[in-house]
Amino acid sequence: MATASAMSNTTSSAGSQVVSELRTAFKSGKTRSLAWRMSQLDAMKRMLIDQQEQIIDAISADLGKPRFEAFTTEVGFLLSEIEHTQKHLAKWMKPTKVKSAVVVQPASSKIYKEPLGVTLVIGAWNYPLQLALGPAIGAISAGNCVVVKPSEVSPNTSAIIGGLLPQYLDSDCVRVVEGGIPETTDLLEQKWDYIFYTGNGTVGRIIMTAAAKHLTPVTLELGGKSPTIVDETADLKVTARRIIWGKFTNAGQTCVAPDYVLVHQRVHDELIAEFKNAISDFYGDNPKNSSDYGRIINERHWKRLVGLLDSGTITHGGEHDESEKFIEPTIMTEVDGDSAIMAEEIFGPILPVLKVASVDEAIDFVNERPKPLALYVFAKNKARAHQVIQHTSSGGGSINHVWMHLAVPGLPFGGVGESGMGAYHGHHSFDLFSHKKSILDKPTFVDPSVVYPPYGDFKKNVIKRLL
């Protein structure tokens, strides 16, 4: 396994030096050109292609993630994001012309997209490559210098990022800082022009508090309990397959995974049966032996999840093995709304299923809780599906599917309320790391005296008409 080079790695006393060096690079203007931005995106693409097997090895070592899943959700996702960005970047960078008001005529008004400066991206362990480099694509495409801080909870992927990025990208402008709490704390003491964090709300509050000292803007990609509502009109077979796929990908360690299901009581038993069929179809009779099913990141999270298994009746699954950090895909019923498993984001392969008498009851249940990062509704009845979307608040979501909205580059991805603030992906990543600078260009060949004092009645009447 590769280790971070001295160029990429830093100690807790070197954060200020890293920021100072990046500020010098940014002030030189080298990151502003389209050529530099495209060259860095090309370099990251080459890295992902050239080192694909080594990268997947690292991800699999951290999470026991199936290799194909590691490619599709991490390497492949990033390649698609880079290609989309490169295709449109020249257009995104161009100033946007807007109509000038009559009162300022003759004039030209434009919005210039200006890089923010020196930015910090703090990644998360559950998708350790994607969530570290995805935001960095936005920072680079917008012309910024960036420090990437991978999660220390996924040490193999952190090491591979720290070892490879300096080999491919411009180390004057792009750095990697590995380490744990001391290194992150040191970074947060520095003055940044933007901070992007993916993780939990507890650390999110720490990030925001540190940023406030310097009035640094932040994006917080957090999480929460993403609900799934299944109406009695839903196609239950398809619904079950899509929910099971979305829930148990990455062994449930996905911030937008269906956290719990609210199903109409009339179709509850049938849905449970379809859930069991889907699990068997996907992972066989013994998921522990499936090459398509992952593991829990570490012992601490494994023990936390096992402790949730007594929150209701285990209808399917429940087997677990600490030596392999394995928890079988598990369906739970007869779960109380106030139980431990309903009090926190599960972030693992346990799916509580609760009965509701109507869509209205499901909507009330969701609205009584913090706003989730995602919400899913399954219904053939379009009116009921849109009723759910219109009467609940979430960062995003899907109708008759789960978290596939992430695959649409035109859709901003982000939270609301306690599930986060700010959104990215595609053009929204470029915008997030850009300052939209408004510029009025007014010629001097016309300079009417009516705008200047002293203001008599005539001037006042003219100006009032123009406003």
Its pTM surpasses 0.85: yes
Among residues 74, 81, 221, 345, which one is catalytic? Answer: 221
- Give me the pLDDT at residue 438, please: 97
Please say whether the dihedral angle defined by the alpha carbons of residues 378, 379, 382 and 388, taken in this order, is positive or negative.
negative
Asked if residue 135 and residue 254 are part of one domain, the reply reads no
- Give me the pLDDT at residue 301, please: 97
Asked if residue 398 and residue 251 are part of one domain, the reply reads yes
Q: What are phi and psi of 108, to 5 degrees?
A: -125, 135
Which of 368, 393, 410 is where one domain is finished? Answer: 410
Any domain includes 7: no
Q: What are phi and psi of 82, to 5 degrees?
A: -65, -45
- Give me the pLDDT at residue 11, please: 40
Asked if residue 395 and residue 267 are part of one domain, the reply reads yes
The alpha-helical segments, DSSP class H, found in 145-267 are 155-168, 181-188, 201-212, 236-248
Any domain includes 467: no
Any domain includes 461: no
Asked if residue 274 and residue 179 are part of one domain, the reply reads no
Mean pLDDT for 183-197 is 97
- Give me the pLDDT at residue 4, please: 38
* Distance from the first to the final alpha carbon of the chain: 67
- Give me the pLDDT at residue 464, please: 87
Any domain includes 446: no
Instruction: Inform me whether the pLDDT recorded for 160 exceeds 80.
Output: yes
What's the mean pLDDT when you consider all of the chain? 95
Asked if residue 215 and residue 312 are part of one domain, the reply reads no
Asked if residue 238 and residue 129 are part of one domain, the reply reads no
Instruction: Inform me whether the pLDDT recorded for 450 exceeds 90.
Output: no
**Neighbour-count burial for 257-296, b at 16+ CB within 10 Å, e otherwise:** bbbbbbbbeebbeebbebbbebbeebbeeebeeeeebbbb
Predicted confidence (pLDDT) per residue in 37-77, tens digit: 999 999 999 999 999 999 999 999 999 999 999 999 999 99
Residue 173 designated active-site: no
Mean pLDDT for 175-181 is 96
Residue 423 domain boundaries = 15-222+418-439
Token pair in block for residue 46 = 């080459």
Any domain includes 454: no
Asked if residue 363 and residue 239 are part of one domain, the reply reads yes
Any domain includes 400: yes
Asked if residue 406 and residue 363 are part of one domain, the reply reads yes
- Give me the pLDDT at residue 337, please: 87
Q: Which CATH number belongs to the domain containing residue 187 in this structure?
A: 3.40.605.10
pLDDT-derived band at 236 (thresholds 50, 70, 90) equals very high
Q: What are phi and psi of 320, to 5 degrees?
A: -150, 155
- Give me the pLDDT at residue 2, please: 37
Asked if residue 309 and residue 202 are part of one domain, the reply reads no
Residue 221 designated active-site: yes
Query: How many domains does the structure of the chain reveal?
Result: 2
pLDDT-derived band at 462 (thresholds 50, 70, 90) equals confident
Among residues 69, 81, 183, 255, which one is catalytic? Answer: 255
Q: Which helix (H) or strand (E) holds 56?
A: helix 52-63
- Give me the pLDDT at residue 14, please: 79
Mean pLDDT for 433-444 is 96
Predicted confidence (pLDDT) per residue in 307-318, tens digit: 999 999 999 999
How far apart (Å, rounded) are the C-alpha atoms in residues 266 and 204? Answer: 40
Q: Is residue 110 a contact partner of residue 137, using CB atoms and an 8 Å limit?
A: no
Quick one: which of 38, 6, 181, 198 has its CA closest to 120? 198
Which of 394, 410, 426 is where one domain is finished? Answer: 410
pLDDT over 70 percentage in the chain:
97
Q: Which long-range contacts (CB under 8 A, 24 or more apart) does 378-383 make?
A: 378/228, 378/229, 378/230, 378/231, 378/234, 378/235, 378/239, 378/242, 378/243, 379/229, 379/230, 379/231, 379/233, 379/234, 380/231, 380/233, 380/234, 380/235, 381/231, 381/233
Mean pLDDT for 402-421 is 95
- Give me the pLDDT at residue 467, please: 81
Instruction: Inform me whether the pLDDT recorded for 3 exceeds 60.
Output: no
pLDDT-derived band at 7 (thresholds 50, 70, 90) equals very low
Across 13-22, 23-32, 448-457, the highest mean pLDDT is recorded for 23-32
Beta 413-414 vs 423-424: how paired, if at all?
A: antiparallel
Q: Which CATH number belongs to the domain containing residue 320 in this structure?
A: 3.40.309.10
Asked if residue 256 and residue 398 are part of one domain, the reply reads yes
Mean pLDDT for 413-436 is 97
Q: Of 301-310, 438-447, 458-467, where does mean pLDDT reach its minimum? A: 458-467
Any domain includes 210: yes
- Give me the pLDDT at residue 116, please: 98
Q: Which helix (H) or strand (E) holds 365?
A: helix 359-367
**DSSP character at residue 349:** S
- Give me the pLDDT at residue 465, please: 85
Any domain includes 316: yes
Polymer length in residues for the chain: 467
Predicted confidence (pLDDT) per residue in 91-133, tens digit: 999 999 999 998 899 999 999 999 999 999 999 999 999 999 9
Asked if residue 211 and residue 172 are part of one domain, the reply reads yes
- Give me the pLDDT at residue 240, please: 98
Instruction: Inform me whether the pLDDT recorded for 9 exceeds 60.
Output: no
Asked if residue 426 and residue 405 are part of one domain, the reply reads no
